[in-house]
Each structure stands twice: as structure tokens, then as C-alpha cells.
Structure 1
Amino acid sequence: MSQTIEFFWEPGSPYTYLAGTQIEKVAAATGAKVVWKPFLLGKVFENRGMKMPASIPAKASYMFKDLARWAQIYQVPLTMPTVFPISSLIASRAAIAASQLGFEAAAAKAILQTYWGEGLDISQPEVLSAAFTKAGLDAAAIFARAQEQSVKDQLKENTEEALKRGVFGAPTMFVGDAMFWGNDRLEQVGLVLAGKIKA
């Protein structure tokens, strides 16, 4: 039976974007499946009494340099968004709606690429709609589904699950009960899946 990587992701997190460009490669190398779980990181920070990293000037200065280095390593575009930080509610609901319609990975990657690859404002429905259309997805169907209560409930459940399982940042990945935080833990995820190290 194939293993699963549960990928708790937040559209407003640049490290989520970086991990999102690589996680399916890690999964493919070991025959694992990725389950994309959008959640509201702001709610997690609030619950844990944490500050957003970018709100600390010294950390923000370091973070943007670090992000640029990772983008070079992964050979992916990185553009500082026109609006940051951002409300990710609309994008997260759209991601869950897309998941219910059967194309979670494509929608997630379109959202992350649009915000962090192109720097566009994903809190605007028209921006998201264009991103989904560009990715070959049915934007109208996604937004129609995003209005349903089941989508809102799922986002709340994902966020509550993240809190219960000890999540404190994004991205966070689980292989079984083992938790891994940050794009720089992807190597560990791959090694655990391959049975080369213990979780």
C-alpha cells in the first residue's frame, strides 16, 4: 500500500510555495501520494500566541534573502507579491472547492504560483479566476462550489486538525504521525518514506 504525505499548506506562506514546487517529486520518488490540506495559518498563530515572522524586521530581512536562495536552488521564479501579508480565505476555500471537484494539486499549484511566482493579489476573485483558467481548470465551477457550506466547514476542520496535531507553521507535512515543518525538511520526508531513516 502506498504511503501518504499530508501537506498542510497556506497560500500566504512563501515557504509553502517553495515546498509546493518540490513535494510531488519527493512523493514520486517513493511512490507516495500527496494530500493537499489548506488551512488558515493566521488562526494557528493566533491560537499559539505567535507573531507572523515577517512582522519582526530582522527576521523579515533574513527571510527574503533566504527565500531568494531557495528559489535559485529549486530553479523556480519568486516575486514579492504586491500585497503582503494577505487574506488567504478566498484562495483557501477555492482550493478546497477544487479538491472536492477532483483537481486539488493543480488548483493549489496555480494559487501558489500566481501569488509567489507572479506576485499577484490572490485575495481578488478575478485574479484567482484567471489563474485557474490559465491552468486549464473550470474557474466558474470552483467558485460556485466555494460558496457551499461543506467547503467552509472543511477549511475550519483542516485548521482545527492542524492545531490538534501540533502544527505551528507552514508548510507542515505528516507521514503517519511524524511531523515535518518547512521546505527544508523535504529531504527528511523523502528519507523516511524510503525507509532510510526513522521518523
Structure 2
Amino acid sequence: MGQMVEFLFDFGSPASYLAYQRVPDLAGRTGARIVYLPMLLGGIFKATGNASPAAIPAKGRWMNADLARWARRDGIEFHRNPHFPINTLHLMRGATGLIDDPRFMAYCDAVFDAMWREPRNLGDPAELAPVIEAIGVEADEFRALVERDDVKARLKAATEGAVQRGVFGAPTFFVGNQMFFGQDRMDFVEEALIRPAA
């Protein structure tokens, strides 16, 4: 036990939200340490030729129903965001800039909740401001943070690094070199933690 799980996510992914809600229980059952790694899903799609399921109407309808089923099964409050899709570039830069800050997890909680629990248009700075100010990130601080060159470079490097590791969507998990895609594969993540591959 006590292994590490890398959790690669984007706030714009409803499956990432469901996984994010379930990850603490996974850690509690297995003793694993969760490493939260923001990446830009739009950059992943561009680099890999992948696209959002919402881009295919039939698949999008199915996915919405399936996500609702998973949320009900796991007791997670989940609502489709009427403003979807939302460009998450600034949101992911915010996560990247705060990753070593004590407010990082509170930021992730607040943004995921405002995206999928009590949906707001987080592409609108006026809608985002009260969400992040409630956890101690002032709007002016956030604007400066997401324009910092080092933050931009770190998110770009994280996204490119994910592609190099085979990532094509979100959420993606790594247990050592084993990759698992999707919130519906978390049983396999847990299995890998309990019975590590030889």
C-alpha cells in the first residue's frame, strides 16, 4: 500500500468531476497518495486528434445519460452545465498556478462544484470571481496568476507530457506505468493498487 496515483484532469470534463468526487474514498481504502495533475483537455484533443463526445450528438446524449447513472450510483450531486462547453484555459492555468499553494484543493473543489454541482458560466469572469473569492483567491490575483509566463509554460509542459505518456482524454490515471482512462475504470485503478503488476 501507500502507492501513488496520478490523477490527470480538466474542469471541463464531467467525468473528471465524478472521478474527483470518488478519489478520496479510493485513497482511504488503499492508502494511496493522490497526485492531482491539471492538464488542458483542449490541447490533448488537438494533439491526439480526439474530440469531446459532445461533438457527436448521439454519443453526447448517451454520455449525458451514462454520467447521470454513475452519479446516482455513487451518490454524487451532478447537473449538466447549460453553458457547456466552456473554455477552461484560464481555469486550468489557475489550478496550475496554485498547485503548490495551500488553496489548491479548495480551488479545485470550488471550480468543480461551480462547473458540475451548481453550474455556472465559469467562462465569464464575473461569474468566476465570487466562486474563487469565496476560497481566498481575489479576482485581481487570479488575473495576474493566469497571465504569468511560468504558469503558462507549466500547463503547456504538463499537457505535452501527458500526450507523450499516451493520454488522449480526461480523466486519466497512472499507477506507475499503468494508464487507466475514464472515471468508469477506477475499479481497475484500485485493483492495480491492491495487486501491483509484477
| Fold shared by both chains (TM-score > 0.5) | yes
- The code of the aligned residue for 1:198 comes to A
| Structure 2 equivalent of residue 139 of structure 1 | 138
| Structure 2 equivalent of residue 87 of structure 1 | 87
Offset of 1:182 from its aligned partner?
0.5
| Structure 2 equivalent of residue 66 of structure 1 | 66
Offset of 1:24 from its aligned partner?
1.7
Write the distance in 2 (CA, Å) between the matches of 1:186 and 1:52: 20
- The code of the aligned residue for 1:106 comes to A
Write the distance in 2 (CA, Å) between the matches of 1:153 and 1:92: 12
| Structure 2 equivalent of residue 152 of structure 1 | 152
Q: 1:49-68, CA deviations, whole angstroms, 9 ceiling, x for partnerless residues?
A: 22321111110111111011
* Structure 1: unaligned runs, 5 residues or longer: none
Write the distance in 2 (CA, Å) between the matches of 1:81 and 1:68: 12
- The code of the aligned residue for 2:197 comes to K
Normalised to the residue count of structure 1, the TM-score between the two structures is 0.90
Q: Helix, strand or coil for the counterpart of 1:5? A: strand
Greater CA deviation, 160-169 or 124-133?
Answer: 124-133
Is the contact made by 1:101 and 1:142 (CA closer than 8 Å) also made in structure 2? no
Write the distance in 2 (CA, Å) between the matches of 1:20 and 1:94: 17
Q: 1:113-172, CA deviations, whole angstroms, 9 ceiling, x for partnerless residues?
A: 1101111112223333322233x3333544443332211111101100110000011000
| Structure 2 equivalent of residue 177 of structure 1 | 177
Inter-CA distance 2–103: structure 2 relative to 1 (3 Å threshold): farther
* Structure 2: unaligned runs, 5 residues or longer: none
Greater CA deviation, 186-195 or 153-162?
Answer: 186-195
Write the distance in 2 (CA, Å) between the matches of 1:21 and 1:183: 10
- The code of the aligned residue for 1:159 comes to T
| Structure 1 equivalent of residue 12 of structure 2 | 12
Write the distance in 2 (CA, Å) between the matches of 1:176 and 1:53: 28
Offset of 1:188 from its aligned partner?
1.3
Residue 125 of structure 2 is aligned to residue 125 of structure 1: yes
- The code of the aligned residue for 2:147 comes to Q
Number of aligned residue pairs: 197
Write the distance in 1 (CA, Å) between the matches of 2:125 and 2:34: 26
Write the distance in 2 (CA, Å) between the matches of 1:110 and 1:35: 18
Give RMSD over aligned pairs: 1.9
Offset of 1:32 from its aligned partner?
1.5
Q: Aligned residues: percent identity?
A: 38
Q: 1:74-102, CA deviations, whole angstroms, 9 ceiling, x for partnerless residues?
A: 21221221311110001001111221323
Q: Helix, strand or coil for the counterpart of 2:99? A: helix
Inter-CA distance 4–139: structure 2 relative to 1 (3 Å threshold): farther
| Structure 2 equivalent of residue 34 of structure 1 | 34
Greater CA deviation, 101-110 or 70-79?
Answer: 101-110
Q: Helix, strand or coil for the counterpart of 1:173? A: strand
Write the distance in 1 (CA, Å) between the matches of 2:101 and 2:183: 27
Is the contact made by 1:121 and 1:127 (CA closer than 8 Å) also made in structure 2? yes
Offset of 1:8 from its aligned partner?
0.7
Greater CA deviation, 162-171 or 100-109?
Answer: 100-109
